[in-house]
A and B are shown apart, each in its own frame.
Chain A
């Protein structure tokens, strides 16, 4: 007799383990390909859903097999339409002889020795951030216990009267009374039986007394006793900070060309992806500046172009203002500044330094400054920042080509052991 089983509801992840093993085997190749993927894909692609294709090679499983080019081979083909015995046909050029190996209808033909692995967004990010983590982040997550929420957590026997839970207390009392009454009833039944059998008057009177006593006990069971009382219990549960805001500050003065913007954009993207991985909710604030600072949309931030000189300090002031007004201490604040290093005057640079040191850095998690320039000369801003950067909460780097971003990124966010 046949059994018919509907397996559709069963797990479908039977191959997951083996797939992981396979990915592990090609891990080094995937990691090598990731910088390429970042530089090729547009920023929006890499921060939204979807999948990533990674070409992989060198996974052939060797066996002993014949070299198709050698020897005397003969094969049978179907559909002869023109040949007679002894006919000679020129071999196709460059083809490896026979070709057309017999293949079962079930097996897909694989001719390339390279194929693409499709990584899910999750997997891609795992590789992407494998050995990276923001400094202080773990610390902040642990520190964030300064936010608590009171949550119901069962009942307790000891608390203030206002938290008394009447229903549960009553249940307790009911149980207690039933239990005690049961015992007394049994005792009573036993005594009454003895009483009815007793003949000796002395014994009879003691038994009657006894019965009376038990009856009284049974009728005077207290309705509530202290042990019945149950109070609602509350627990202080730390709420992890799950929101982060990222400020992107960019110089859009005339000196920033398309190339510089492009590099900056990639840098912002990397941080953004990283934050979306770490926090449930990441908000972006874009501030651009030339001589004055302005908060803009992402579109405008990257695409419109302004001209004029550069003053940096107003943008930092704007950032601080936004931070204070819109984001309370429940937000993790990150800041990314990209510039070509040009400032109007030394004084501006000094003002920036002061702003950072006194107002901004103490309030935020991390700040990164990226100087996009290929000149060996240290800019004024760089010099100013260099004095206060400690790589722990404020890092600065100089890059010029897009391919330099990845190593810089790694350097900026290298995983630190949680001390």
Chain B
């Protein structure tokens, strides 16, 4: 018991030291495992200064990355916003890696440190380690390794081929970064070692098989025939991973450029689950820190003063300005996610008649099992579609606005009433679906007979067009990588071209 008193004294002192963090981590890990049954990666908790945090921001959270001006721009931008007080830095930043690295700001108070350790090192960590998106699409074991490899590789390319040329390739690949994700195939696991091996093998095979003579051989008739057959339609199926398509099929791209495209594609792949689980990830982490800190209070580790500070920070995190507020900037993912998870718990424990009709599967189940099940098996759109309850819609007073092009007025589509619940829910789920904000563009054809021209099709949704200037610039980047003319058609749902972009 003396231990507990010692810890209590430590936690309630606003100044922390190394022992405080160690004690906090020990208690919080125990509660996470025993009470919330969390399975996590080992933690690596790093205390950083604000400047180091800005560095981490610029590299989008990765501990290292290949050199590129984009990161410098983000750094300059964040730094100037931060120094002007226009932007605060977050208390922590956590990386989906094994061990799970989290950066904690040095100027956090003890209360914030505990909150952050519970939030990031238990909540986010458990999410990374168990959610199917992260398990299938990222390799936490090797990402840090892989980024180190990428950095080395890019630096080597800069040395060999000049910074400018490397920058051109990376700029172009970045423009298409959203189209570098295998949404259906699961990518193979990454490893720097294997990646290096793969490269070596590739060059070796090329060296071994190179013989000037082969080029003079006439093609066999059989080959010509099958070739002709193939060229009837290429690619056979439309390809939505444009970067992959370039890496694989760009006719005149040198090998090192293909490799750079591959690196950008892999990074894009790595971040894909983050974008698709923002609400769930933050909601779950908030749910976890809320339960752990309350449990610590129950067990007598914390005093009232600590709890007051905690509640203030916690409610700050969950602040959701209303649509008409000048602070409004979209739905707060922390709030939405936390509310849904808390409501799952409530429905399991004290269901109302309404809940019984809406969530028959949850009634009478163990709340923790259900929360963990949801955390493991969903992503934002499916999570909302399945678990956004009428009560949360009512509490948050959600409503939908219809904004049609050409009309002078907005229309209110659905509100928090019996008629509207389902529509609000579907609409919100659709909003978190990737396809609602990233235009659906696919490679549909390559002219392999004459021009090597690459044809892309934009399948329009809800009559939304591409932003012209940006689309044209992106096409120019694509043209650079492909090496031959490129053309894009926006097709509406009747299959009629609405607009085209062509770069010869």
Q: Which residue numbers of A lie inside 8 Å of B, CB to CB? A: 1-8, 10, 12, 14-15, 17-25, 59-81, 83-91, 97-98, 100-106, 108-110, 115-118
Contacts and interface: CB of A to CB of B under 8 A. Distances in A.
Most buried by B among A80, A84, A98, A103: A80
A59 B75 CA distance: 14
Interface in B424-442: 424, 427-428, 430-431, 437-439, 441
Given A2-B29, A79-B397, A108-B78, A64 B174 contact: no
Contacts of B424: 76
Interface stretch (B220-228, B298-306, B340-348, B402-410): B402-410
Contacts of B179: 64
Given A74-B427, A76-B431, A81-B324, A108 B77 contact: yes
Given A18-B72, A63-B178, A89 B470 contact: no
A21 B99 contact: no
Nearest to B18: A4
Contacts of B75: 15, 18-19, 22
A12 B76 contact: no
Contact of B121 (A2, A12, A14, A105): A2
Interface stretch (B38-46, B194-202, B351-359): B38-46
Contacts of A8: 47-49, 52, 106
A342 B72 CA distance: 53
A252 to B, nearest CB: 43
B147 to A, nearest CB: 13
Most buried by A among B73, B80, B320: B73
Contacts of A4: 18, 21-22, 25, 45-47
Given A21-B72, A78-B397, A102 B431 contact: yes
A79 B73 contact: no
Contacts of B204: none
Interface residues of B, number: 112
Contacts of B86: 108
A63 B474 contact: yes
Interface in B46-84: 46-49, 51-52, 54-55, 58-59, 67-73, 75-81, 83
B465 A71 contact: yes
B188 interface: no
A106 B334 CA distance: 11
B466 A65 contact: yes
B331 interface: yes
A105 B320 CA distance: 11
11 contacts: A4-B21, A6-B47, A7-B47, A7-B49, A61-B171, A64-B474, A65-B438, A74-B401, A75-B431, A85-B415, A115-B77
A2 B473 contact: no
B52 A73 contact: no
Contacts of A7: 46-49, 52, 103
User: Closest 6 interchain pairs by CB?
Assistant: A79-B322, A102-B330, A22-B72, A71-B464, A18-B72, A62-B473
